[in-house]
């Protein structure tokens, strides 16, 4: 079997790339430098024609990027056709401060917020201690958002048991509480253990959760960087993935090909299992995500003049 058969086989079986178009969403991060801002907007413009369901903009640990997140989301709203969703967390802020941010978003025309508990400043995956005058968790934050405006609210969910949770049943109870508070969609952290994810989703659905759940897809070309991201948040990386990238530190082109293959096959197998929504962690880069979306059948509309020709 050729490498292309290995990828395109599950895609063909799932019907992806044909008449059925999956729903995609993209996650971006607010830029830290002028150079990073140029790269971000190049990625945004490249992916915008794919007409994603929404695009989200992250919120740094401890709310460290609050102003940059706000500026990026507002610029998206004013200068693009995208439907931006702003991340919002509970940490290092009082209820009054968070409510002010929510109100500012509503007044600016933002209608979608990704409500997350968040991490302490500079401690991704670190121990969380809520402020006495703040929202204690994402459930309370979701209720607070809905009390201010009729936002669409997305919330996070782990593809396996949360590292701070005693059980999957507890995670499901927390997700149900978020839904009762007004959440309308869940987005999972990225993962590579497909079988484990499918077992989790089967348990979630059997528990009566019916809202859309978008699997988080991380196309990554730097395995060392992936390990740094995955470790603090409790995401396990399978040995087969490490083996694929072994010895390729000085071969970025092959790493890109492998990354595209892994992410595309993951999406194809998810589609084969009935999933229709995919959330891509772009890392503010468009090339891989664009290529994967194209294989999955997510493409920009062909101009009418070209169709006529």
Phi and psi at residue 66, to the nearest 5°: -50, -50
How far apart are alpha carbons 245 and 243 in whole angstroms? 5
Instruction: Give every CB contact of residue 214 below 8 A, 6+ residues apart in sequence.
Output: 23, 25, 185, 186, 187, 188, 277, 278, 279
Pure H helices in the chain: 3-14, 34-47, 66-79, 95-108, 138-148, 168-181, 194-206, 223-230, 239-245, 252-272, 287-295, 304-308
| Catalytic residue from among 27, 48, 140, 265 | 27
**Is 27 a known active-site residue?**
yes
Helix axes 138-148, 95-108, angle to 10 degrees: 50
Q: Are 77 and 109 in contact (CB under 8 A)?
A: yes
Whole-angstrom Cα distance, residue 176 to residue 210?
10
Q: Which residues are catalytic?
A: 27
């Amino acid at each position: 079997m050729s490498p292309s058969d290995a990828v395109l086989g599950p895609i063909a079986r799932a019907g992806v790339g044909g008449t059925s178009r999956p729903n995609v969403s993209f996650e971006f991060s607010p830029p830290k430098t002028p150079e990073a801002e140029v790269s971000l907007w190049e990625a945004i413009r490249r992916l915008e024609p794919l007409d994603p369901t929404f695009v989200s903009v992250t919120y740094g640990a401890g709310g460290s990027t609050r102003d940059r997140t706000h500026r990026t989301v507002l610029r998206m709203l004013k200068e693009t056709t995208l439907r931006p969703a702003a991340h919002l967390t509970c940490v290092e802020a009082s209820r009054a401060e968070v409510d002010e941010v929510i109100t500012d978003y509503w007044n600016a025309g933002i209608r979608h917020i990704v409500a997350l508990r968040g991490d302490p400043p500079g401690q991704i995956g670190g121990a969380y201690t809520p402020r006495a005058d703040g929202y204690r968790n994402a459930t309370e934050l979701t209720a607070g958002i809905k009390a201010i405006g009729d936002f669409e609210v997305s919330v996070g969910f782990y593809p396996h048991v949360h590292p701070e949770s005693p059980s999957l049943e507890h995670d499901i109870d927390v997700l149900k509480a978020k839904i009762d508070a007004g959440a309308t969609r869940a987005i999972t952290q990225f993962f590579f253990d497909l079988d484990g994810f499918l077992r989790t989703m089967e348990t979630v659905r059997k528990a009566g959760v019916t809202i859309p759940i978008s699997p988080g897809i991380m196309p990554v070309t730097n395995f060392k960087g992936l390990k740094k991201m995955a470790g603090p948040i409790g995401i396990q990386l399978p040995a087969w993935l490490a083996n694929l990238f072994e010895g390729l530190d000085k071969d970025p082109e092959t790493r890109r090909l492998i990354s595209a293959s892994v992410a595309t096959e993951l999406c194809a197998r998810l589609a084969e299992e009935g999933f229709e929504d995919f959330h891509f962690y772009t890392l503010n880069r468009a090339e891989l995500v664009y290529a994967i979306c194209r294989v999955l059948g997510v493409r920009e509309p062909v101009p009418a003049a070209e169709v006529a020709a």
